[in-house]
Structure 1
Amino acid sequence: MTTEDGIEKIIGRFGKYQTWILFLISIGRLPTEFQLNIVVFLLPGVEYECQDSAVNITNHCPCEHPKYDQSTIVSSVVTEWNLICDRVYLASLAQSIMQIGILAGSLVFGQISDRYGRKLAVLLSLFLEAAFVAISGLVPEFWMFLVCRFLIGTAVGGTMLCGYVLFIEFCGKSFRPYVIGLHEISFIVGYFILPIIAFYVREWRTLQLVTSVPWLAVISYYWLIPESPRWLITVGKKNEAITLLKLIAKKNNKTTENIESIVEEMEKETMRESKKPASYVDLFKTPKIRFYTVITAFIWMFCSHTFFGVNQYIGRLQGNIYLNVMLSAVSLIPGLIIVVFATLHLKRKVSIVTSFSIAGLSLLVFIFIPNNIEALTLTFAIIGLIGAYTSFVQVYLFTSEVFPTIIRNTALGFASMFGRFGGFIAPFVVNLGIEWASILIFSGVAFAAASLCYLLPETKDIILLNSIEQTEGPKNAITEIKNNETNIDKTTK
C-alpha cells in the first residue's frame, strides 16, 4: 500500500477551496452550536414565590400559582409550562430528548452519507436543523415542543457528524491535526455569541426564531458545496471524482496532470468493497472492526456524558448566567489551541487520555471547594469542561482515523448513538440533588473513557484507510504504513 495520500497529492493539504468549504460549513452549523448550549436559557433553574396562600413562600412545593423571578430571563420553557415541583422531571426530559434525537440523527444521516453521499446528508441536516428550531418557537403545547426537540436533535446529529466527515475528506493527511481546531471554530463562536443574543432576547420563543430563521438560507448550499471526492472514488464514480478534483486543483493553483492515474490507483484499493453500500452490519462482521466498534462506542458514551453534564451544570452555578456562559466559551479557545499542538506533536492516545484525566481530576477537586467561593468553583468547573471538550474534539478525529472510508460515517454514527445515551442521562445526573454524587459520577466516567482509549490502535500520521480489507488484512494497515514510513526515514538518513 502506498504511503502517499492521493487526494493531498492532487489538491494539496489545505488551500483556497478547502477554506471556502470550511467557511460554508462553519456558518451553516451555527444553529446547531446554539442548540447544543441553549438549554441553560430555555430550561434554566428558576426562582419563584408561591402565591397559593396569604403568605408568599419562595420556591415552595406544591405550588399551583407561582410568580416567577423575571429579572434575568423574562420567559422560558420552565415558566411557560410550570415545570416545577412534581413537573420538574419534564424539564430534564426536555433537555434529554434532544440527545435521543441526536442518536437517531446520527444513525439516519450516517447511513444517508455513506449510501447517497456526504453532500446530500450535509444539506438535509443543515436545512432541517434551522427549520425545526424555528417551528419549536411557535408551538402552543409542551408535548409539541418535546417533539420539536427530538427533531432538532436528529438534525444536530447529522450536522455534527456529516459536516465533519465531509470537511476532513477534503483535507490531506498532513493537515488533519489542524482540521479538528478549524472545524471547532463554529462551536466556540456559537457558544460565545449565544449568551450575547440571549442577553438582549430574553423571551425563549423569540430566541429560538432569532437563532434559526436566518439560516434557512442554507438551501443555497446545493449550488455551493460539492461531493466528497474520496466518497466518489469509493463508490466507483471515478469520472465525477476526476472532474471535481481537476476543478479544485485549478482553484488551489495545483497541476492537473496525472490526476486520472492517481484516482485509478485509489480506486483499485477499494474496488472489491465499494460496490455494496455500507451498513451497520459491516461494523460487526470482522474481528478488528468489531472490537474497534465496541470500544469507541463506550468511549463516546462516557465522553458525551461528562461534557454535556458539566456544560449544563455551569449554567446552574451562582453568579451572572450570561457571564458564566461567555467565560466558558472563551476558556475553550486555549483548550483548542492545546489540542492542535498535542495532535501535532503527541501520540493520539497520549493526548486524549490526558484530556480525559484533566476532566476527571478537576471535577474531583471541585467537590471539596466551598460553594461560597464562586470564582474558584467556576474555575474548576471550566477546567473540567475544557478537559471534556478537548476529549470530545479528539475522539471525533481518532474515530475517523481508526475506521476506513467505506464505513467511516456509519462507524461515527454508531459511536455517536452511544454518545447520545451518555448525553441523555446527563441532565438527570445534574438534577440528582446531591452535588457531590453528581460530580463524582462525571469524574468516574471520564477516567473510564481514558482507560478504554489504550485499547485502540495508534493512528497519528496515518493515511485514511479506504476499505475494511486494509484494516483487517494479515497485517493491520495502520501498523504497515507506520513501518513503511520508518523504513523510508532510515533510508533517507
Structure 2
Amino acid sequence: MSFTEDRIEQIIGRFGRYQVWILFLVTLGRYPAEFQLVNVVFIVPSVEFVCKDADAFNVTNHCPCQQPEYDQSTIVSSVTTEWNLICNRSHLASLAQSILQIGILAGSLAFGHISDRYGRKIAVVLALFLEAVFVTLSAFVTDYWMFMVSRFLIGTALGGTMLCCFVLLVELSGRTMRPYIMGLCEVPYVSGYVALPIIAYFVREWRPLQLVTGAPWLLTLAFYWMLPESPRWLITVGRKKQAIELLTYIAKKNNRPTDNIETIVNEVEKESMSTNENKHGSYIDLFKTPKIRKYTIISALVWMCCSHTFFGINQYVGHLQGNLYVNVIVTAASNAPGVIIVVIATLHFKRRATLIGSFAIAGASFVVFVLVPSHLQWVTLMFAIIGQMGVYTAFMQIYMYSSEMFPTVVRNSALGFSSVFARLGGFIAPYVVNIGIEWASILIFSAAAFGAAILCCFFPETKGVVLSNAIDQVEDKDKRSSEKMYLSSPSPVSIIDHS
C-alpha cells in the first residue's frame, strides 16, 4: 500500500537541528504556563484551621468562624488564608480555579483566531510573554477580586500557550515525527509538575511563589526575533515567497539540499487551494461541511470529558491523606512513564485504539479507587495515579488527534473551539471535587472518562496521514485513504534527523 509523501518533510527533514532549537525555545518558554496549570494545590489549598471564636472552644474546622487560626506547618500563606476562603466562603476557592478555566477558554478562542489569521509565530510569542506578565502581576494584587482578574488573564495566556505552541511544532516537523512531538511537547509539563512541589517546599508563601515562577520568563519577548513562522501556514495563506525563503533557511540549517524547494512549494500550494475556499479559516468554517462539522462536535465533547476528569483528579490529589509535597511529586513523576507509553503506542498501534484505551484505563481505575478502603493510603494513591496517568495520556493524544483530523486552514480554530468545551469541563471540576461525598466525585470523573471512550469510537483513524491543508482535502479523504497510511511505523531508534 502506497502513501503520499509529506513534501514539507522532504525539504526540511523530519526533525533536524533547527527544529531541535525551536523545541528548546518553546519548552523553556512554557514553564510559567505549566506551573500555573498545576499550582492550585499550593496557592489555593484546602487548609486546616482552629476556630478561636468564643463559642467554638478551639474546635478544628468549626464553621462559622470569624477568627480562624490556620495550620502553617505545610504552607505559610496562601490565597485561602489571606482572604479566609473557608466555611461559607469556601466556594470562592473553587471559583479561583474555575476562573482559570474560563480564562483558558477565552484565550483558546482568541489565540486560535490570531494564529489562523495572523500567523503561528505572533500567537506563540504573545501567549508566552503575556503568561509571564500576568503571573508576575498576580503577586502584587491587594484584593480578592484583583486576584480573580489576574487569574483570568493568566488563563487567557495559558490557553494560547497550550494551543499554539503544539501546532507550531507539529507544522515545523515531518509527518513521521508527530508521535515523538506529542511526547516532546509534554517535557515542560512533566518536568514543571515535578519541579513545582520542590520549589513550593522552599517558597511557602504564595506571592513569592508566583514571582519565582513568572518573572524570569519576561525574557520570552525576545522570542519574537528567534522563532520562525510556520511554512505550512505561509503556503496556505498564499505567502509563497516567504515560505520558500523560510524553507530554504531551515534546509540550510539542517544541511539538506535546497535545489527543488520552489517546485515543491508550488505543488503543495496547488494541492492546498480550492476554488471555493478562503485562504483564512474561521470558526464558521468548522460547521459548513459534513465531515468537519461531525469531527468538530465529537472532538468538543471528548475534550470536555477529558478536561473535566484531568483537572478534577489533579486537584483531588491535594485532598489525599499524607504529605502534600510527596503526593504531588509522586503523582507528577508518574506522568513521565505515561509519555513514553503514549509515544510507543502511537508508533505501533492505531490512534483511535490507544485513545479509547487511555480513557478506559482511567475510568476503571477510578471505580477501583472507590472500592479500596480509605485507610489504605498508598493503595488509594496508586489507583489515583493510574487513573490520572490514563486521562493524562488521553489528553496528550487528543491534541495530536485533533491536529491530524483538521486541515491547516482551520487547525487552530478547531483546537480552540474544542478547548472551549474543555474549559467548561475544567470549570465544573473543582465543584465536583468539593461536593463532600468522595465516592460520588470519583464516580462522576469515571463516568466522564468512559463517556469520552465511547465518543472516540466515532473518530476517523488518522495514523500516518499527511496533514491536510484545505477543508476539501478532509471532505474527500475517504477517496484517498489508501494513499494516506504508513507502509510501516518509523523506527524509534533515531528521533533526530542528522542529515
Same-fold status (TM-score > 0.5): yes
Query: In structure 2, what is the Cα distance between the partners aligned to 1:209 and 1:369?
Result: 40
The equivalent residue for 1:8 is 9
Matches within 5 A, 1:270-281: 270-272=272-274, 275-281=278-284
Query: In structure 1, what is the Cα distance between the partners aligned to 2:22 and 2:279?
Result: 28
1:31 aligns with 2:32: yes
Which runs of 5 or more residues in structure 2 are unaligned? 489-499
The equivalent residue for 1:297 is 300
Contact 2:70 2:81 in 1 (8 A): yes
The equivalent residue for 2:493 is none
Query: In structure 1, what is the Cα distance between the partners aligned to 2:319 and 2:47?
Result: 10
Question: Which of 314, 331, 337 is equivalent to 2:317?
Answer: 314
Deviation at 1:476, TM superposition (A): 2.7
Query: In structure 1, what is the Cα distance between the partners aligned to 2:119 and 2:239?
Result: 11
Query: In structure 2, what is the Cα distance between the partners aligned to 1:472 and 1:336?
Result: 32
The equivalent residue for 2:63 is 61
Question: Which of 80, 90, 99 is equivalent to 1:88?
Answer: 90
Q: Which runs of 4+ in 1 moved over 4 A?
A: 483-486
The equivalent residue for 2:391 is 388
Matches within 5 A, 1:35-434: 35-53=36-54, 55-272=57-274, 275-434=278-437
Contact 1:246 1:259 in 2 (8 A): yes
Deviation at 1:160, TM superposition (A): 0.2
Which runs of 5 or more residues in structure 1 are unaligned? 487-493
Contact 1:363 1:443 in 2 (8 A): yes
Deviations 1:141-187 (A, max 9, x none): 00010011111000000000000000000110111111101110010
Contact 1:459 1:478 in 2 (8 A): no
Contact 1:102 1:156 in 2 (8 A): yes
The equivalent residue for 2:491 is none
Report SS of the residue matched to 1:281.
helix
Deviations 1:202-226 (A, max 9, x none): 0001100110000000000011101
- The number of equivalent residue pairs is 485
Query: In structure 1, what is the Cα distance between the partners aligned to 2:397 and 2:226?
Result: 28
Deviations 1:420-468 (A, max 9, x none): 0000000000001000000000000100000111101100011001100
Query: In structure 2, what is the Cα distance between the partners aligned to 1:138 and 1:400?
Result: 38
**Bigger CA drift: 274-283 or 231-240?**
274-283
Alpha carbon RMSD of aligned pairs, Å? 1.4
Contact 2:465 2:485 in 1 (8 A): no
Name the aligned partner's letter for residue 467 of structure 1: A
Query: In structure 2, what is the Cα distance between the partners aligned to 1:482 and 1:73?
Result: 54
Query: In structure 2, what is the Cα distance between the partners aligned to 1:201 and 1:386?
Result: 27
Deviation at 1:482, TM superposition (A): 3.5
Query: In structure 1, what is the Cα distance between the partners aligned to 2:431 and 2:304?
Result: 15
Q: Which has the higher contact order (CA 8 A, sep 6+)?
A: 2
Deviation at 1:316, TM superposition (A): 1.2
Question: Which of 478, 481, 488 is equivalent to 1:479?
Answer: 481
Query: In structure 2, what is the Cα distance between the partners aligned to 1:30 and 1:276?
Result: 33
Closer/same/farther in 2, CA of residues 315 and 484 from structure 1, 3 Å limit = closer
Query: In structure 1, what is the Cα distance between the partners aligned to 2:446 and 2:336?
Result: 22
Deviation at 1:329, TM superposition (A): 1.2
Contact 1:347 1:458 in 2 (8 A): yes
Deviation at 1:276, TM superposition (A): 3.7
Report SS of the residue matched to 1:151.
helix
Query: In structure 1, what is the Cα distance between the partners aligned to 2:355 and 2:472?
Result: 27
Report SS of the residue matched to 1:315.
helix
Question: Which of 444, 452, 456 is equivalent to 1:453?
Answer: 456
Deviation at 1:271, TM superposition (A): 2.3
Contact 1:471 1:478 in 2 (8 A): no
Query: In structure 2, what is the Cα distance between the partners aligned to 1:2 and 1:345?
Result: 17
Report SS of the residue matched to 1:114.
helix
Name the aligned partner's letter for residue 48 of structure 1: F
Query: In structure 2, what is the Cα distance between the partners aligned to 1:74 and 1:436?
Result: 31
Contact 2:309 2:448 in 1 (8 A): yes
The equivalent residue for 1:439 is 442
Report SS of the residue matched to 2:319.
coil
Contact 1:43 1:77 in 2 (8 A): yes
Deviations 1:333-367 (A, max 9, x none): 11110000000000001100010011000000000
Deviations 1:240-291 (A, max 9, x none): 0111111111111101110000000001112236644211000000011000
Query: In structure 2, what is the Cα distance between the partners aligned to 1:185 and 1:464?
Result: 24
Closer/same/farther in 2, CA of residues 305 and 478 from structure 1, 3 Å limit = farther
TM-score by length of 2: 0.95
Query: In structure 2, what is the Cα distance between the partners aligned to 1:485 and 1:281?
Result: 36
Deviations 1:39-97 (A, max 9, x none): 00011111101001162111000000000000000000000000000000000000110
Contact 2:103 2:159 in 1 (8 A): yes
Contact 1:301 1:422 in 2 (8 A): yes
Query: In structure 1, what is the Cα distance between the partners aligned to 2:191 and 2:480?
Result: 35
Query: In structure 2, what is the Cα distance between the partners aligned to 1:26 and 1:293?
Result: 28
Report SS of the residue matched to 2:221.
helix
TM-score by length of 1: 0.97
Report SS of the residue matched to 1:57.
coil
Contact 2:463 2:486 in 1 (8 A): no
Query: In structure 2, what is the Cα distance between the partners aligned to 1:90 and 1:444?
Result: 26
Closer/same/farther in 2, CA of residues 418 and 367 from structure 1, 3 Å limit = same
Query: In structure 2, what is the Cα distance between the partners aligned to 1:200 and 1:483?
Result: 51
